[in-house]
Amino acid sequence: MPPRADLSVVSHERFLRQLRSTRAAAVIVQRNIKLGTDVGRPVFLVEDADLAVARVLTALAPPIPRPPAGVDAMARVSPSAQLGEGCAVGPFVSIGQRVRAGRGCVFHPGVVVGDDCVLGDGCELFPNVVVRERITLGARVIIHAGSMIGSDGFGYHWDGKQHVKIPQIGEVIIEDDVEIGSCVCIDRAKFSTTVIGRGTKIDNLVQIAHNCRVGPHCIIVGQVGLAGSVQLGEGVTLGGQAAIRDHISVGDGAAVAACSGAAADVPARTVVSGTPAIPHRQTLREQAALRHLPDLVVKVRQLEEQLARLQGPDKE
């Protein structure tokens, strides 16, 4: 049998039992885990096993297919657009008037960039991404397939007969090192700017409405919905399917648990859950009490029957 070339990882003590039976040639192990006796294979002790795995994958991952540098013959680039050195423009890409793209930007097939957009160095737009007019992307922004940046905010006014559309004339700014998943919609502002702060990571299928301001280094998980004018502080985490109502603020380092509905401001460095969202510990207490409700109903009925018997038929 040829020698194994696999590399495994132990990031928690609960995986130690599997370490004894692994066929991997070597193992990355979190330094604070007590291995005990010799495990029979090379061990790489690291401070952060998950971070070490990320770096290994970065070094060994197969390359992502990208169009070659230059403009494909089937792309359409406005003569007034300015593309930096080393930009790669794939087939069926459309780049509008007065667009300015920095060095090394990659436009995969089917990407549309509207007039007067600005892209920093090293941006990558995967197939069928649409960036509408007057949008600004910082450096190293990654937008995955099918996402839409700068669509009209959802603004209408009832005039007594119909919903009158309110023009959305603002912009969107995506700051440096933001990564946006597939099928994400980020609406342009009504007047000023919708902002996604530097280093923020957004999962697939997220809706961010007009005039939202997302702080730096936030994590927004799939199917989250932010209503208009929401403000997220630095390092906020929103669990999957969380909903944030309009005009509220979520403070620095706060977290909203999955499937929760935040209807009021969330203080910094707190965790809320439930609908409407309340402090997570309180939610857990209420859920624990709710599980006892069927038994409590039975007990109350029994007590009512006992009380009725004690009172007698003439006292009912």
* Contact yes or no for 95/74 (Cβ under 8 A): no
Segments of 47-155 assigned E as strands:
70-71, 76-77, 82-83, 88-89, 94-95, 100-101, 106-107, 112-113, 118-119, 124-125, 130-131, 135-137, 142-143, 148-151
Element (H, E) at 196: strand 193-196
Element (H, E) at 52: helix 49-60
Question: How far apart, in Å, are the Cα atoms of 252 and each of 129, 243, 246, 270?
Answer: 30, 18, 18, 9
Q: Is 210 a catalytic residue?
A: yes
- Distance of alpha carbon 148 from alpha carbon 65, whole angstroms: 22
Q: How is the chain split among helix, strand and coil, in percent rounded to 5?
A: 15, 30, 55
- Distance of alpha carbon 3 from alpha carbon 204, whole angstroms: 40
List 12, 108, 163, 210, catalytic entry: 210
DSSP 8-state assignment for residue 261: E
Look up residue 192 and give its amino acid: S
**Which residues are catalytically annotated?**
210
